[in-house]
Chain A
Amino acid sequence: MSCCNCQEQAHEGIKLIEQFPEKREKLENYIKTLDVSDDREKNCGYLIQVLHKAQDIFGYLPLDLQLFVADKLRLHLSEVYGVISFYSYFTETPVGKYKINVCTGTACFVKGSGAVLDELKRYLNLEVGETSKDLKFSLGGLRCVGACSLAPVVMVNEKVYGNVTTKMVPEIISDCQ
């Protein structure tokens, strides 16, 4: 379905869907629990939750996965891509094993999260939103986690570091080994 150019492009790259048949099955089973019908508007209502599930299972949402979702929900690829590119939660590129996120909330900002972020950028040689080539680290900003009393806050996957200073950066990174 949808446009053939994109389909060709998807064939050229690594096909995540074919690489992991068990993950594909998991996603397929989830979509089967939804009441997908000929009503495209209604199907569209399921799109965001399906993408959440897909990213949960595969880690990211490359083109072939987007096509798969579009096909299953009987939507256009453009609609699926439009949603993925709009919401910051969805990513089209693989993320690192350690997701290092600096809180960008106001409380953290006034307490010096900017300096911490700069130091992390320098230390890891990454920009915000980038992942290291060995897929070990991803650097990002995080919207307020509500741990404002611990500001500035850095989160590494689920772990919270509070009252972070630039000096603590090497320690945080070495904790990831």
Chain B
Amino acid sequence: MIDTVDKLIRRADELKSAKKADIRILVSMGTCGIAAGAVPVFEAFKNEVAAKKLDQAIDIIEAGCMGLCHSEPSVEVVNVKTGENVIYGTVKPENVAAIVESINSIATGVTTINRSWYYPEVEEKFEGSIQARIVLRNSGRINPENLDDYLVNNGYQALAKVLTKMTPQEVIDEIIASGLRGRGGGGFPTGKKWGFAAAQKAGRKFLLCNADEGDPGAFMDRAVLEGDPHSVLEAMAIAGYAIGAQEGCIYIRAEYPLAVKRLHLAIDQARKSGLLGKNIFGLGFDFDIELKYGAGAFVCGEETALIHSIEGKRGEPTFKPPFPAVSGLWKAPTVVNNVETFANVPAIIRKGAAWFRTIGTEKCPGTKVFALAGKVDKVGLVEVPMGTKIRDIIFGLGNGIKGGRKFKAVQTGGPSGGCITMEKIDTPIDYENLIALGSMMGSGGMIVMDEDDCMVNIARFFLEFTLDESCGKCTPCRIGNKRLHEMLDLICQGKGTEETLNKLKTLALVIKDTALCGLGQTSPNPVLSTLVNFHDEYLAHVKDHRCPAGVCTKLIKYEINNNCVGCTLCARNCPVNCISGERKEKHVIDQDKCIKCGVCFQACKFHAIDRK
């Protein structure tokens, strides 16, 4: 039981001086690591260490995500005495013996990866790295299921500081001074939001954490919840103190079973240790957190919709004002912040607003986590200071485009964002710059596209998503997006005209102006941004009935040319058996039966198949 601040400090000191194993082996076990096969690797380490009777010398730790998605399962070997570390990538159970064998050096035959990030809270800078980890400071470094691991890394010290040395107003002032802005997409100053709710005179207030991460291609909140759940709980308690709320609630996607499990565990541990519940640290502050599950609705990421969902209703947004800070959950003043925003708070309280302002830009201090995915070579979760150039992320951290293809665009902000082209790639990232480019920050998905992607088709894809997820409450979003999608469908089939393009643009602008909530107002962004940046591609579809990237199936056909040597590889691979021909003779594709899946095109080793 940690019921006083003294006990917290003593516990942390005890843990720091406790005898530890000389070596820590951290296996990255977030959802993605597990999907890539981290569990057998973890088991193999356990067995190997037990077989060699090294249990005392080596600790095997189930850690959260390190963000090295391109090389999962990844494993970090840390020498506790010297502080030296080696990171191995794409580790297989058969590599485990070699790694344990050369535990004090570098194992041969296993891929090693350079650590490319630093921790601003403890290190000044790390040469050759543009990554700075505040939000992900503990992710991949601690066992998220062990409270002691969090405590030894300054866990709950910020809460102790707030409760003993600061008034609620001072906490709010500190957060305002830090310039922290909401990381969920809008970028509203967090301290101001807290201030509005704090100013309300009400008996009951609520603090909500938005963990309904729905952007396709964004998974940073999950990484935090899976890798460092206590940091979110601590931040919520701090925010609760600041606004005068005693009840917190985390609204989490039911599709994140591992995050749900670890959060449950963390809440349980915190309650049992007295870090949540009645009279925290014996200082008279009560705060408790419960979990509420989402049920698969993207629109519930919008704060008013989220509140309705917690009330057990359909997750439909309502008009603001009144803002949730005035009348939110059960009509009480409510603050909604997202996971990444919360994860910044304990660090700001510990190190101070001035420190936080040294990272990032004047208007947007701090860092932002991006989920780098798509056609980029090194897919992963990266955290960079605000103001970092997009080029440095994609071509630096991401190592450029996979397979030497040409970069075409990067989509930020998910279904509400837009595309950024090569010309704009040197833009420093912050909220305002991205909006000026017709995109937005969103939750931080960054999907890279290469020359093989058709931008009309991409716009159609995002519209399809919006159609599925529109709650149907307001007409512009419900019907307008449906019509937009139909027009894009026509264009992709080669049935569009230049008139269709004009209509497309007009309707997109109307939806932007008239939809009720953030989801609706931003839903035409992918259309508008591709219309501006890739106008030629739209024109090729409507004027020449041609898809330059060769993606829109109605506009392409596959034909076999004279390079064909009759190896039969294409015919054997064709899923619908529409390729015929004798061995060692030129083959023919039956155009009526062809489903244009492109398997033959990929299979052919003689460049004998043309895509037209």
Q: Which residues of A contact B (CB under 8 A)?
A: 41, 43-49, 51-52, 79, 82-83, 86-90, 104-107, 109-111, 115, 118-119, 122-123, 142-151, 153, 160, 162, 165-167, 169
Contact = CB atoms under 8 A, between A and B. Distances in A.
A104 B466 CA distance: 12
A119 B597 contact: yes
7 contacts: A43-B312, A86-B471, A106-B217, A142-B255, A146-B31, A146-B32, A150-B32
B36 interface: yes
B599 A166 contact: yes
A44 B313 contact: yes
Contacts of B375: 110-111
Given A48-B293, A90-B295, A111-B374, A145 B35 contact: yes
Contact of B573 (A48, A144, A167): A167
A76 B190 CA distance: 39
Interface string B20-31: 000000000011
A115 B575 CA distance: 12
A7 B375 CA distance: 53
Given A87-B296, A115-B597, 15 more contacts: A43-B312, A88-B295, A89-B295, A104-B216, A106-B373, A106-B414, A107-B216, A122-B595, A143-B296, A144-B218, A146-B32, A146-B371, A147-B32, A149-B373, A150-B35
Contacts of B330: 41
A144 B216 contact: yes
B445 interface: yes
Contact of B31 (A86, A107, A142, A147): A147
Nearest to B462: A106
A48 B309 contact: yes
Interface in B110-138: none
Contacts of B255: 89, 142-143, 145
Interface in B304-359: 309-316, 330
A28 B203 CA distance: 34
B300 to A, nearest CB: 9
Given A106-B445, A110-B453, A149-B380, A144 B215 contact: yes
B36 A147 contact: yes
Given A122-B595, A144-B215, A166-B575, A110 B458 contact: yes
Contact of B311 (A41, A105, A106): A41
Interface in B430-459: 445, 447, 449, 453, 458
A86 B313 CA distance: 9
A119 B575 contact: yes
Contacts of B462: 106
Contact of B373 (A82, A107, A118): A107
B231 interface: no
Contacts of A86: 297, 314-316, 471
B598 A87 contact: no
Given A44-B313, A48-B293, A106 B31 contact: no
A106 B458 CA distance: 9
A118 B72 contact: no
Nearest to A114: B461
Contacts of B602: 165
B554 interface: no
B292 A48 contact: yes
Contacts of B468: 88
B295 A143 contact: no
B540 interface: no
Among B374, B375, B449: residue with most chain A CB under 10 A:
B374
B69 interface: yes
B219 interface: yes
B411 interface: yes
A79 to B, nearest CB: 8
Contacts of B297: 86-88
Contacts of A51: 295
A149 B217 CA distance: 10
A105 B575 contact: no
A110 B254 contact: no
A48 B69 contact: no
Contacts of A160: 35
Interface in B403-435: 411, 414
Interface string B451-484: 0010000100110010010010000000000000
